Amino acid sequence: MQQSTFAELGVSKPVAGALRARGIERPFAVQQLVIGDVLEGHDVLVESPTGSGKTLAFGIPLVDCVEPGRHTRRRPGEPGALVLAPTRELASQIVDELDAIARARGLVVAAVYGGAGINPQIRAARRADVLVATPGRLVDLLDRRAVSLGEVDVLVLDEADRMLDMGFRPVVDRLVALTPDDRQTMLFSATLAGEVDRIARAYTHQARRHAHRGREGTASRGRVEHRFVKVTRERRTDALVSELTEQERGRTLVFVRTKRGADRLAKQLSRVATVKVAAMHGDKSQAQRERALAQFEQGRIDTLVATDVAARGIDVRDVTHVINFDAPGATEDYVHRVGRTARAGADGVGITFVLEDQVREVVSMVAGLGLHRELEAGGLPVSPRVTRTDSISGGNARRRRGRSGRRRGAGGTGSSGRQSAQSR
Tell whether 288 is covered by a domain. Answer: yes
Contact between 311 and 257 (Cβ < 8 Å): no
Q: Which CATH number do you get for residue 47?
A: 3.40.50.300
Tell whether 408 is covered by a domain. Answer: no
User: Domain check: are 83 and 118 in the same one?
Assistant: yes
The span from the first CA to the last CA of the chain, in angstroms, equals 17
User: Domain check: are 144 and 262 in the same one?
Assistant: no
Nearest to 159 by CA among 337, 287, 285: 337
Tell whether 155 is covered by a domain. Answer: yes
Element (H, E) at 66: none
Range of the domain at 259: 224-377
User: Domain check: are 286 and 199 in the same one?
Assistant: no
> Per-residue pLDDT for the chain (424 aa), expressed as one digit of tens each?
556 789 899 999 999 999 988 878 888 888 989 999 999 999 999 987 666 678 999 999 999 999 876 555 668 889 999 999 988 888 888 998 899 899 999 999 999 998 788 999 999 999 999 999 999 999 999 999 999 999 999 999 998 988 887 888 999 999 999 999 999 999 998 888 888 888 999 999 999 999 875 543 333 446 889 999 999 999 999 999 999 998 789 999 999 999 999 999 999 999 998 999 999 987 888 788 888 888 998 899 999 999 986 666 677 778 999 999 999 988 778 887 888 887 766 789 999 999 999 999 999 888 667 788 889 899 998 754 443 333 222 333 333 334 434 443 333 333 333 333 323 3
pLDDT of residue 222: 62
What whole-number distance in Å separates Cα of residue 327 and Cα of residue 322? 12
301: left (phi over 0), alpha (psi -120 to 50) or beta: beta
User: Domain check: are 183 and 67 in the same one?
Assistant: yes
What whole-number distance in Å separates Cα of residue 299 and Cα of residue 276? 9
Tell whether 309 is covered by a domain. Answer: yes
pLDDT of residue 51: 61
What whole-number distance in Å separates Cα of residue 201 and Cα of residue 395? 6
User: Domain check: are 10 and 39 in the same one?
Assistant: yes
Contacts of 220 (CB under 8 A, 6+ apart): 28, 29, 30, 51, 52, 53, 214, 343, 344, 345
User: Domain check: are 185 and 327 in the same one?
Assistant: no
What whole-number distance in Å separates Cα of residue 37 and Cα of residue 249? 40
User: Domain check: are 228 and 156 in the same one?
Assistant: no
Residues in the chain: 424
Burial 95-127 (b: 16+ CB within 10 A, else e): bebbbebbebbebbbbbbbebeeeeebbebbbe
Contact between 104 and 422 (Cβ < 8 Å): no
pLDDT of residue 220: 43
Per the structure, the count of domains in the chain is 2
User: Domain check: are 178 and 127 in the same one?
Assistant: yes
Of 207, 239, 269, the residue at which a domain comes to its end is 207
User: Domain check: are 144 and 250 in the same one?
Assistant: no
Tell whether 402 is covered by a domain. Answer: no
Of 155, 180, 207, the residue at which a domain comes to its end is 207
- Cross-strand bridge partners of residue 351: 227, 323
User: Domain check: are 253 and 164 in the same one?
Assistant: no
pLDDT of residue 289: 84
pLDDT of residue 311: 62
What whole-number distance in Å separates Cα of residue 278 and Cα of residue 266? 6
pLDDT of residue 383: 57
pLDDT of residue 406: 42
pLDDT of residue 88: 83
Nearest to 335 by CA among 350, 345, 346, 348: 350
Of 340, 361, 377, the residue at which a domain comes to its end is 377
Q: What Cα–Cα distance (Å) separates residue 361 from each residue in 165, 239, 331?
A: 18, 21, 10
pLDDT of residue 216: 33
